[in-house]
Amino acid sequence: MPELRKDYFNERFVILKRGEWTARQKKKTSDAKNCIFCPGNESKTPLSDLVLASRHGTMLKLSDMPEEYVQDWVVRVIPNQFPAVSEDSPKKYSDPPLYSEPALGYHYIVIASPKHVNFEDVDTDQWVNVLSIVQDKARWLYAKKNVAYVAIFLNQGRDAGASRAHAHMQIMTLPVLPPTIEKESRAVQKAMRTSGGCPMCQIIEQEMKGSRKFLETEAFFSFAPQASSHPFEFWVFPKAHQISFLKASQKEIMDLARVLELSFKALAKVIGDLQFNAILHTSPEKRTSRQIHWHIEVYPRLGGFDGFERGTGIYVNTVAPEDAVKALRDVATKILKGR
């Protein structure tokens, strides 16, 4: 029977309508020949001001020079050629009800591997490189003007909004705090005032005892949220109450890298053609009154029901989170045993 579930503290509803579900055939990754993110095609992209490259066994942070691109790189951060926000936005403001302001900001792409691969093929060591570079760039961006929030996310696959096949992440600054983070921080603030504790810590504690656990490591815990809006959705939280991804230590980054590698490998094995969005939720660095317990939310894209969701704000999910994590856990255990 269908069941209506509500998100832990947001006004977000999901109708759980358990149904038949089949894995999609994994598509062949498109040709690397015309890929501008692949090594050899650096000149077809804007110059990079942050390139991670291994030289004589040491990782160095370098930048491209005009006509002189850093070769043999490991991670490459480039300005988005088609940015959603820009420092050059015309300075036009208008008042409500026709409110508008310039979409000022910076929009970068992090090429997550020198190989033409999907995220399920990115290994732990490479994840460490990627996450460290993302931390670096985000810290640098928070020092800039007109930056209220640095959004960090990744899209893989056309259904998830990615236009290129090569694994990449995006870093985009916003002149305003995104409503999702604003809402989460308000819920945290309210709970801190009334019950004295972080509500996300309480959810972690509760989910650790329940049937929606996915992976647990020394520092991280992942689970399928009880009102999963998408099939096979899962969230990854630091177990300790931490407010900022930017302050995660190298040891924690290594731990997180292991979790991400295993999660995406398991996800790809279970759902076949892996198309998904992953979004980092972290506290804005400049406003201490808007703190949350940072985490990553992963939304696999299997298609369906978009119009209804857009029109009503209510999601329909055909895979119960309890069943989804069971499939994911089984596959993750097999992957670990095979190592």
Among 166, 230, 269, 301, binds Zn ion (CB under 5 A): 166
Nearest to 19 by CA among 305, 266, 269: 305
Query: What does the alpha-carbon distance between residue 121 and residue 134 come to, in Å, rounded to a whole number?
Result: 19
Q: How far is the CB of 143 from Zn ion (least distance, A)?
A: 26
Contact between residue 236 and residue 213 where contact means Cβ atoms under 8 Å apart: no
Query: What does the alpha-carbon distance between residue 191 and residue 200 come to, in Å, rounded to a whole number?
Result: 10
Spell 12-24 as b/e; 16+ CB within 10 A means b. Answer: bebbbeeeeeeee
Q: Three-state SS for 208?
A: helix
Among 241, 247, 326, 329, binds Zn ion (CB under 5 A): 241
Query: What does the alpha-carbon distance between residue 328 and residue 331 come to, in Å, rounded to a whole number?
Result: 5
Q: How far is the CB of 290 from Zn ion (least distance, A)?
A: 14
Among 35-43, 51-59, 173-181, 299-307, which window interacts with Zn ion (CB under 5 A)? 35-43
Interface with Zn ion includes 248 (CB under 5 A)?
Answer: no
Interface with Zn ion includes 293 (CB under 5 A)?
Answer: yes
Nearest to 257 by CA among 128, 71, 93: 128
Residue 330 φ then ψ, to 5°? -60, -45
Q: How far is the CB of 9 from Zn ion (least distance, A)?
A: 12
Q: How far is the CB of 36 from Zn ion (least distance, A)?
A: 8
Q: Which two tokens stand for residue 130?
A: 């990627």
Among 5, 76, 107, 116, binds Zn ion (CB under 5 A): 116
Among 61-69, 115-123, 145-153, 260-268, which window interacts with Zn ion (CB under 5 A)? 115-123
Interface with Zn ion includes 292 (CB under 5 A)?
Answer: no
Among 5, 14, 16, 37, binds Zn ion (CB under 5 A): 37
Count of residues binding Zn ion (CB under 5 A)? 11
Among 13-21, 77-85, 239-247, 274-282, which window interacts with Zn ion (CB under 5 A)? 239-247
Q: Which residues bind Zn ion (CB under 5 A)?
A: 32, 35, 37-38, 116, 166, 198, 200-201, 241, 293
